[in-house]
């Protein structure tokens, strides 16, 4: 089963990992989404300390020492800030940071190849990719740049 999304952030000694998965819940007879947080001590020695599921310090019998608790709080705050910095970019169906003619072209591609039953470019969330989604792309002049969060801008500038 693949995660719906997953994010990880690390410092020198620890790694915080968040993921969300959706699976069929037989008891409820519906899909259920589960959000999970893992926190592991890591290093880059040979062999390295791995951040596998058994190393999750948030699960018993593991406990966090003082430094790990500080790192956990710090990484959690940084990841929350990163998630809060996400910018909505209406019309950017291929998520390349620009709304332009490529988005129109690719909306048409997905509409044709799936018989309009695609979630790609379904901006109005009606379950179909079709002409009703086009105004979300064409609502303003091209090209429209979607600003990246500052944390990414800094990492690109050298
Ligand atoms: Ca785009
Ligand atoms: Ca739609």
User: Is the pLDDT reported for residue 50 higher than 50?
Assistant: yes
Of 84, 117, 133, at which residue does a domain stop? 84
* CA 127 / ligand 2 centre spacing (Å): 6
Local confidence band at 43 (pLDDT 50, 70, 90 cut-offs): confident
pLDDT tens by residue, 14-41: 999 999 998 999 999 998 999 999 999 9
Q: Which residues have their alpha-adjacent CB atom under 5 A from ion ligand 1?
A: 92, 94, 96, 98, 103
Is residue 93 in a domain? Answer: no
Local confidence band at 152 (pLDDT 50, 70, 90 cut-offs): very low
User: Is the pLDDT reported for residue 70 higher than 90?
Assistant: yes
* CA 89 / ligand 1 centre spacing (Å): 9
Is residue 92 in a domain? Answer: no
Domain that holds residue 127: 98-156
Is residue 113 in a domain? Answer: yes
Q: What is the arithmetic mean of pLDDT over 60-68?
A: 92
User: Is the pLDDT reported for residue 153 higher than 90?
Assistant: no
* CA 86 / ligand 2 centre spacing (Å): 22
> How buried is 143 (Cβ within 10 angstroms: 0-12 exposed, 13-18 middle, 19+ buried)?
exposed
* CA 97 / ligand 1 centre spacing (Å): 6
Q: Are residues 41 and 65 in the same domain?
A: yes
Is residue 9 in a domain? Answer: yes
* CA 100 / ligand 1 centre spacing (Å): 6
Mean pLDDT value across the chain = 87
φ and ψ at 134, to 5 degrees?
A: -60, -40
The ligand whose atoms approach the alpha carbon of 127 most closely is 2
The ligand whose atoms approach the alpha carbon of 95 most closely is 1
* CA 142 centroid distance within chain: 26
Q: Are residues 9 and 78 in the same domain?
A: yes
* CA 3 / ligand 1 centre spacing (Å): 24
The ligand whose atoms approach the alpha carbon of 137 most closely is 1
CB burial string 113-135: b at 16+ within 10 A, e below: eeebebeebbbeeeebbbeebbe
pTM above 0.75, yes or no: no
Local confidence band at 148 (pLDDT 50, 70, 90 cut-offs): low
């Amino acid at each position: 089963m693949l995660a719906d999304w997953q994010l990880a952030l690390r410092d020198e000694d620890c790694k915080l990992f968040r993921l969300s998965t959706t699976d069929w819940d037989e008891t409820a007879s519906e899909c259920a989404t589960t959000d999970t947080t893992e926190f592991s001590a890591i290093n880059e020695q040979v062999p390295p300390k791995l951040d596998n599921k058994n190393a999750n310090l948030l699960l018993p019998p593991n406990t966090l020492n003082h430094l790990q608790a500080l790192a956990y709080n710090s990484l959690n705050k940084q990841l929350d800030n990163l998630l809060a910095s996400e910018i909505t970019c209406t019309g950017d169906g291929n998520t390349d940071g620009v709304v332009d003619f490529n988005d129109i072209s690719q909306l048409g591609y997905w509409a044709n190849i799936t018989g309009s039953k695609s979630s790609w470019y379904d901006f109005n969330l009606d379950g179909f990719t079709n002409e009703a989604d086009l105004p979300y792309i064409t609502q303003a002049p091209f090209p429209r740049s979607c600003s990246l969060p500052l944390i990414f801008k800094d990492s690109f500038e050298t």
